[in-house]
Amino acid sequence: MSGETVSVTDLKQAPEPNVDALAPGSRLLSGQYEILRYLSSGGFGITYLARDSLNRTVVIKECFPEAFCARVNKTVCARTRHYIDDFQSIVKLFIREAHALSRLKHPSVVGVHQVFEDNETAYMALDLVEGKDLLEIIETGHPAMSPDMVQGLTLKLLDAIGHVHSQDLLHRDISPDNILVDTTGHPVLIDFGAAREEASRKSRVLSSVLVVKDGYSPQEFYVAGSPQHPCSDLYAMAATLVHLISGAPPPNSQARLAALAGNQQDLYTPLSGRFPDYDTAFLEAIDKALNIVPSERLQSAEDWALMIDHTKRIERARAQAQNDRSIDQTVMNLVKSANAEQEDPCETGTVPPARPDGAVCADKTPTAGAAAPFDTCDLAQGSQSGDAETSAQGMASPEVENLSVTAEDIARPHPEPDAAPQDRPKADTPYVRVTSRALEAAKSREATRSAPAVPSKRMNRFATVPIVFCAYLFYGYTVLQYDAVQAATVQPLLAWGQELGQRPVEAQEQQGVTIRHGEEG
- The DSSP annotation for 94-161 comes to HHHHHHHHHT---TTB--EEEEEEETTEEEEEE----EEEHHHHHHH--S---HHHHHHHHHHHHHHH
pLDDT at 17: 65
Q: Which of 134, 124, 227 is nearest to 172 (CA)?
A: 227
Does residue 155 share a domain with residue 72?
A: no
Give Cβ neighbours of residue 305 (< 8 Å, ≥ 6 apart).
155, 158, 159, 162, 312
Residue 114 lies in a domain: yes
* Backbone torsions φ then ψ of 448, nearest 5 degrees: -80, -5
Does residue 49 share a domain with residue 62?
A: yes
Does residue 136 share a domain with residue 124?
A: no
Does residue 223 share a domain with residue 299?
A: yes
Strand partners, 48: 38, 60
CATH number of the domain residue 49 falls in: 3.30.200.20
Residue 135 lies in a domain: yes
**CA 72 to CA 68: how far, in whole Å?**
13
Angle between helices 147-166 and 301-308 (to 10 degrees): 150
Residue 335 lies in a domain: no
- Nearest 5 degrees, angle CA 229-CA 230-CA 235? 100
**CA 409 to CA 510: how far, in whole Å?**
17
Residue pair 118/30 in contact (Cβ under 8 Å)? The answer is no
Residue 295 lies in a domain: yes
Residue 491 lies in a domain: yes
| pTM, two decimal places | 0.58
Give Cβ neighbours of residue 39 (< 8 Å, ≥ 6 apart).
3, 5, 6, 10, 15, 47, 48, 49, 59
pLDDT at 266: 92
Helix (H) or strand (E) holding 316: helix 310-343
pLDDT at 78: 94
* Backbone torsions φ then ψ of 416, nearest 5 degrees: -65, 145
Does residue 45 share a domain with residue 22?
A: yes
**CA 375 to CA 181: how far, in whole Å?**
78
pLDDT at 148: 93
- Among 248, 275, 308, identify where a domain stops: 308
* Backbone torsions φ then ψ of 50, nearest 5 degrees: -140, 170
Residue pair 32/115 in contact (Cβ under 8 Å)? The answer is no
* Backbone torsions φ then ψ of 311, nearest 5 degrees: -65, -45
Residue pair 194/172 in contact (Cβ under 8 Å)? The answer is yes
Does residue 122 share a domain with residue 137?
A: no
Class of residue 76 by CB neighbours under 10 A (exposed 0-12, middle 13-18, buried 19+): buried
Hey, is 295 helix, strand or coil?
A: helix
| CA atoms 285, 289, 294, 298: torsion sign | positive
**CA 405 to CA 383: how far, in whole Å?**
9
Domain count for the chain: 3
- Among 258, 276, 308, identify where a domain stops: 308
As averages over each run of 10 residues, the pLDDT of the chain (521 residues) reads 45 64 94 94 87 94 92 93 90 87 89 93 93 92 90 95 90 91 92 57 50 88 84 96 95 93 93 93 96 94 91 77 74 73 55 50 46 43 43 42 43 47 53 66 63 54 68 64 61 73 58 46 38
For residues 26-40, one letter each, b for 16 or more C-beta atoms within 10 angstroms of the residue's C-beta and e for the rest, the string is bebeeebbbbbbbbb
Hey, is 39 helix, strand or coil?
A: strand
Domain around 264: 131-189+212-308
Class of residue 390 by CB neighbours under 10 A (exposed 0-12, middle 13-18, buried 19+): middle
Residue pair 42/63 in contact (Cβ under 8 Å)? The answer is no
- Among 106, 129, 152, identify where a domain stops: 129
* Backbone torsions φ then ψ of 179, nearest 5 degrees: -125, 115
Does residue 145 share a domain with residue 66?
A: no
Residue 116 lies in a domain: yes
Does residue 120 share a domain with residue 141?
A: no
The β-bridge relationship of strands 69-72 and 75-78 is antiparallel
Strand partners, 45: 63
Does residue 277 share a domain with residue 137?
A: yes
pLDDT at 335: 72
pLDDT at 225: 72
The β-bridge relationship of strands 33-41 and 27-28 is antiparallel
CATH number of the domain residue 156 falls in: 1.10.510.10
273: phi > 0 → left, psi -120 to 50 → alpha, else beta; which? left
Does residue 254 share a domain with residue 140?
A: yes
Residue 257 lies in a domain: yes
Does residue 124 share a domain with residue 40?
A: yes
Does residue 479 share a domain with residue 383?
A: yes
Q: Which of 241, 295, 297, 292 is nearest to 267 (CA)?
A: 292
- Nearest 5 degrees, angle CA 57-CA 96-CA 111? 30
**CA 28 to CA 40: how far, in whole Å?**
18
**CA 283 to CA 276: how far, in whole Å?**
10
- CA max distance for the chain: 136
pLDDT at 456: 55
pLDDT at 514: 45
Residue 237 lies in a domain: yes
pLDDT at 156: 95
